[in-house]
Amino acid sequence: MIARLLGELIFALTRFLVGGHARWKGCAPDESQRIYFANHTSHLDTIILMAALPAELRRTAHPVAAADYWGKSAVRRYIALKVLNVVLVDRDGAEDPLAPLRAELERGQSLIIFPEGTRGAEATPGPFKSGLYWLARDFPRVELVPVYLSNLARAYPKGAVLPAPITCVATFGAPITVADGEVKDVFLDRARTAVAGLAERIPE
């Protein structure tokens, strides 16, 4: 209960400081099982995307984050696991780093992932890593929803302590699927284009 209240406080404060408003352009918020995949430019990305979701959807949506960062201290681990509902992934030496993600999907949960794998400095997302393709192929009934996060790099740049008061928006696009016989690189490029295509200039 305390963790949930702390989470709602963080989301409310984030919305007050930088917006975190949702624009549903290609789908509507509903309880369908989904993988939300977005561009990654800031440590604030996860919180903004979560804040943009209705409260009832946040309870079943699990952001994916690196264990080597979020599991580094007891405080970070508490925030990740108890407050933000994160699934931690071992990027160093895990036999199957996607296993925790598959486990969540198998129990009917949704995921929030950043397929670039690390933060980028450009407005257009960089190349996507292969995890999204394997999850999409193995769970064809899960909706794949592209999301573009606007102005995050400016609102909370690398090294910042507090976010700047710049309006940030999460734009949700139309779901995509893996086509029959579609190879990995073609799908990943199409998924990246789906995210980039949602970009638009958001007033400060």
* pLDDT tens, residue by residue, 24-63: 998 999 999 999 999 987 777 888 899 899 999 999 999 9
Indicate whether 156 belongs to any domain.
Answer: yes
Burial of 48 (0-12, 13-18, 19+ CB in 10 A): buried
Indicate whether 54 belongs to any domain.
Answer: yes
Indicate whether 110 belongs to any domain.
Answer: yes
d(CA 14, CA 37): 20
d(CA 35, CA 113): 7
Q: What does the pLDDT read at residue 204?
A: 44
d(CA 34, CA 28): 12
CATH number at residue 37: 3.40.1130.10
Tell me which of 13-22, 160-169, 187-196 is least confident. Answer: 160-169
Number of domains making up the chain: 1
Indicate whether 116 belongs to any domain.
Answer: yes
DSSP annotation of 128 reads P
Measured N-to-C along each axis, helices 99-106 and 131-138 cross at an angle, to the nearest 10 degrees, of 30
Q: What are phi and psi of 142, to 5 degrees?
A: -80, 130
* pLDDT tens, residue by residue, 9-20: 878 887 777 777
Residue range 154-172: mean pLDDT, rounded: 66
Q: How many CB atoms lie within 10 A of CB 87?
A: 19
Owning domain of residue 154: 2-196
Indicate whether 203 belongs to any domain.
Answer: no
Lookup result for tokens 């199957």 = 96
Band of residue 128 on the pLDDT scale cut at 50, 70, 90: very high
Indicate whether 185 belongs to any domain.
Answer: yes
Indicate whether 122 belongs to any domain.
Answer: yes
Burial of 81 (0-12, 13-18, 19+ CB in 10 A): middle
d(CA 71, CA 84): 13
Q: Which strand ranges, in their side-by-side order, compose the sheet holding 110-113?
A: 19-24, 168-172, 143-150, 34-38, 110-113, 61-66, 87-89
Indicate whether 165 belongs to any domain.
Answer: yes
